[in-house]
Amino acid sequence: MSKFGENFIWGVATSAYQIEGAFDEDGKGLSIWDTFSNKPGNVMNDENGNVACDHYHMSSSDVKMIADLGVKAYRFSIAWTRILPQGYGEVNQKGIDFYNKLIDDLLANGITPWVTLYHWDLPQTLQDEHDGWLGREIVDHFKNFADICFAAFGDRVKHWITLNEPWVVAILGYGQAVFPPAITSNSAPYLAGHHLLLAHAEAVQIYRQKYQQTQSGVIGITNNCDWREPIDDHPDNIAAAERALEFFLGWFADPVYKGNYPQSMIDRVGDRLPIFTVEEQEMLKGSSDFFGLNHYTTMMVKNDDHSADVEQSVYGNGGISEDQDVILSVDPAWGQTSMGWSIVPWGCRKLLVWIANRYGNPDIYITENGCSFDAEVVNGESADPGRVEFLHGYLEECANAIARGAKLKGYFAWSFMDNFEWALGYSKRFGLVHVDFETLVRTPKTSYHWYRDYIKENH
Ligand code: GAL
């Protein structure tokens, strides 16, 4: 038997705004990412997703390429503003048609669709009318959108992910102003996060009440987390690393598995952290049929006892680190991707085991893992040895985590093809397939062939 166990799900992942393009076609409304990226100064080189990979027009051939890769699962997201151009109101049939065709194409090719309902492209109207995720109204709007998607696609879609990485939405959008709506605050992220969690729980509730019995699908949430390694074995640093994980993953996973925020957050964030009612706690607890995890990198943690004026880490993903009293750093010996993210395969294993222990050994799906490396096309070939090494290293540690009892059931490489990497535009390439953004020609990279062989070997 393969070291990944029987029926392990091999997949690749993308998201709507990063690949579709056709930003204003066939009745689609504008999302906050359309608006943000079309304003100069927000995205590197003033790039935007107006065309992106033009997947909207090329989905059939893209599905063929996914099928040729040998994966049996494809994770993509639905653009809310294709279905509901304003975020609510009348359904845009052409948006439904696009995803119907995509889903049918996938199924015809033996590929199971895994559908994310929200991968950051909030309808601009909802941003304008309710302050986006800061307004409580958003919870009902998301529930309504989810309901429409379950009704339209649930006869064929059996794997749903409500939200992609609420941590990123809250921190990068409402704390660090890197993503829209570009707010800088040390309290707004907690309010946005609260509404994200409630929106997730309401969507799950509606699915379970109206659809799950007849459609027999599963639904969950995808959270992102780096691993946090104590810088040494001093108890203060060990505690600080644990705290950092609670502020990162526990923030969004504790409510879903335990019904409330981690105690360390409640104690430290004080009245900036909203409180769940008892009914909300009950609705949240158990609201994920599986543990969706996006994992990319690792950082080391030292307790910040404020004894020295230490410059806070320049590395991203610190969250609101002053609430955590942690000092983050990386080991200079670690290799790095072109994002500047450290390559630490064992961090993946440790995180999987941590999740298994903290959350009662749930079924885990890595819904994203991958890396950015530059790779051009030379003589019709695109060589990316760094990505092959990265994927190999992380997958071997996934197998090690399984050997230690973690119930990892699937793995989706991020990403199927190079795409719009948010505020970094097209400067970072995460794909197994190279995309020439002038001609839109796709060329499989070395890693595409390698992943295909690896899946075959480990089936
Ligand atoms: C994730 C995100 C993806 C992708 C990836 C690489 O946070 O869900 O959309 O951009 O990071 O940065």
Give the whole-number percent of the chain exceeding pLDDT 70.
Answer: 98
Indicate the pLDDT class of residue 405, thresholds 50, 70 and 90.
Answer: very high
Average confidence (pLDDT) over 6-32: 98
**47 pLDDT above the threshold of 70:** yes
Residue type, 400: N
Q: What is the pLDDT of residues 387-396, one digit of tens each?
A: 999 999 999 9
Active-site pick, 165, 229, 397, 421: 165
**pTM, whole model, 2 decimals?**
0.98
**270 pLDDT above the threshold of 80:** yes
Q: What is the pLDDT of residues 407-443, one digit of tens each?
A: 999 999 999 999 999 999 999 999 999 999 999 999 9
Q: What is the pLDDT of residues 20-29, one digit of tens each?
A: 999 999 999 9
pLDDT number for residue 66? 98
Check if CATH label 3.40.50.970 holds for domain 9-458: no
Residues in the chain: 459
Q: What is the pLDDT of residues 337-378, one digit of tens each?
A: 999 999 999 999 999 999 999 999 999 999 999 999 999 999
Q: Collapsing DSSP states into helix, strand and coil, what is residue 295?
A: coil
| Separation between Cα atoms, residue 63 and residue 444, nearest integer Å | 13
**312 pLDDT above the threshold of 60:** no
Query: How far away, in angstroms, is 226 Cα from ligand 1 center?
Result: 13
Half-sphere exposure of 434 (CA within 13 A, CB side): 21
pLDDT number for residue 307? 83
User: Does residue 397 carry a catalytic annotation?
Assistant: no
Q: What is the pLDDT of residues 62-117, one digit of tens each?
A: 999 999 999 999 999 999 999 999 999 999 999 999 999 999 999 999 999 999 99
Query: How far away, in angstroms, is 66 Cα from ligand 1 center?
Result: 19
Q: What is the pLDDT of residues 145-194, one digit of tens each?
A: 999 999 999 999 999 999 999 999 999 999 999 999 999 999 999 999 99
Q: What share of the chain is helix, strand, coil (3-state, %, to 5)?
A: 45, 15, 40
| Separation between Cα atoms, residue 459 and residue 449, nearest integer Å | 16
Average confidence (pLDDT) over 237-242: 98
User: Does residue 421 carry a catalytic annotation?
Assistant: no
Query: Which amino acids bring their CB within 6 angstroms of ligand 1?
Result: 15, 18, 164-165, 168, 224, 294, 368, 414, 421-422, 430
**310 pLDDT above the threshold of 70:** no
User: Within 248-332, where are the H helices?
Assistant: 251-258, 263-269, 278-284, 321-324
| Separation between Cα atoms, residue 389 and residue 114, nearest integer Å | 26
Active-site pick, 20, 229, 280, 368: 368
Average pLDDT, the chain: 97
Point out the ligand 1 atom lying closest to the alpha carbon of residue 422. Answer: 10
